[in-house]
């Protein structure tokens, strides 16, 4: 009996410690992203500094080859709406019909649609023109923040969240998360390599994508917990 109690206490303490670490990481990530976005907006639109952007262009210019351009084109496609819309629909269908997790099937479209609206709003607010000399074809729309970076951070970041919560095997979980983090980075880097975005656009997109993902998941998780409490109260009555 005493052994069971000790085991229960240890398990509960481990859970609390894990939640505390997660909370610290998420809260820290949120404030770092918020500070980063404000700093970039201030640097670009108030101080009119483009030193970072020009330096990154200069570094990448030395690595422009046909092979690298093909690779970057591939990764940039993974951040387009033509890829992300079907990917979102497949993920929704998976949680509706296969895994049957109702709240995930709600969270995915709510987060993806709201992040898309946020992106359009921010582009209109800041209204920054794109780089003048794209490597291949010019891109449409405004430049700040990068839509590819923002939407990739939201979609693949949400995948990271789902994997973290649902895959128990530690090695598999870490491998998948690292691969997705690398993918997010490469999608953002591809936009700068192709010269359709400045580096500050991409960093701002990453920052705002992370901010929106954390806020959206937090709010939707609260709604999920509230709905479960309401159902439990009805059942108890």
74, 73, 80: which is closest to 151 by C-alpha?
80
Q: pLDDT value at position 101?
A: 79
- Give the C-alpha separation, 192 to 205, whole Å: 12
Which residue segment(s) compose the domain that 146 sits in?
Answer: 2-236
223, 90, 59, 87: which is closest to 154 by C-alpha?
87
Total domain count, the chain: 1
For 90, which DSSP code? H
Query: Looking at 3-12, 60-69, 134-143, 223-232, which range is the least confident one?
Result: 3-12
Structure tokens at 22: 């997660």
Highest mean pLDDT among 105-114, 193-202, 227-236: 193-202
Structure tokens at 197: 């975005």
The helix, strand and coil proportions of the chain, stated in percent and rounded to the nearest 5, come to 80, 0, 20
In this prediction, residues 183-207 reach a mean pLDDT of 96
Residue 128: pLDDT above 90? yes
Structure tokens at 60: 């990448």
Q: pLDDT value at position 1?
A: 54
Structure tokens at 131: 């780089």
Inter-axis angle of helices 81-93 and 147-166, nearest 10: 20
In this prediction, residues 118-138 reach a mean pLDDT of 91
Q: pLDDT value at position 50?
A: 85
Residue 74: pLDDT above 80? yes
In this prediction, residues 142-147 reach a mean pLDDT of 94
In this prediction, residues 177-202 reach a mean pLDDT of 96
- Give the C-alpha separation, 139 to 31, whole Å: 31
DSSP run (H or E) holding 160: helix 147-166
| Cα-based angle 82, 84, 87 (whole degrees, multiple of 5) | 115
Q: pLDDT value at position 35?
A: 95
> What are 80-117's pLDDT values in tens digits?
999 999 999 999 999 888 877 778 888 899 999 999 99
Structure tokens at 6: 């000790």
Residue 234: pLDDT above 80? no
> What are 149-175's pLDDT values in tens digits?
999 999 999 999 999 988 889 999 999
198 CB-near residues (< 8 Å, 6+ apart):
44, 50, 53, 56, 57, 131, 143, 144, 192
In this prediction, residues 62-79 reach a mean pLDDT of 95
- Give the C-alpha separation, 129 to 139, whole Å: 11
| Top-confidence residue, 229 or 187 | 187
Q: pLDDT value at position 203?
A: 97
In this prediction, residues 16-42 reach a mean pLDDT of 83
Residue 7: pLDDT above 70? no
Q: pLDDT value at position 193?
A: 96
Q: pLDDT value at position 232?
A: 46
Contact 229, 177 (CB under 8 A): no
């Amino acid at each position: 009996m005493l052994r069971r109690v000790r085991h229960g206490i240890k398990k509960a303490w481990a859970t609390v410690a894990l939640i505390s670490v997660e909370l610290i990481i998420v809260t820290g990530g949120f404030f770092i992203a918020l500070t980063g976005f404000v700093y970039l907006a201030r640097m670009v639109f108030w101080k009119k500094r483009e030193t970072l952007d020009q330096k990154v262009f200069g570094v990448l210019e030395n690595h422009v080859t046909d092979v690298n351009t093909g690779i970057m084109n591939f990764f940039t496609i993974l951040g387009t709406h033509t890829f992300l819309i079907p990917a979102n629909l497949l993920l929704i269908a998976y949680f509706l019909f296969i895994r049957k997790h109702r709240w995930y099937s709600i969270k995915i479209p709510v987060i993806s649609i709201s992040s898309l609206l946020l992106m359009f709003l921010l582009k209109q607010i800041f209204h920054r023109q794109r780089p003048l000399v794209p490597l291949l074809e010019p891109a449409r729309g405004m430049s700040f923040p990068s839509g590819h970076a923002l939407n990739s951070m939201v979609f693949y970041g949400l995948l990271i969240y789902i994997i973290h919560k649902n895959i128990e095997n530690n090695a598999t979980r870490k491998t998948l998360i690292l691969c997705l983090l690398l993918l997010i980075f490469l999608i953002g880097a591809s936009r700068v390599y192709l010269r359709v975005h400045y580096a500050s656009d991409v960093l701002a997109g990453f920052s705002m994508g992370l901010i929106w993902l954390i806020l959206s998941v937090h709010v939707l998780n609260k709604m999920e917990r509230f709905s479960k409490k309401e159902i439990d109260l009805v059942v108890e009555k």
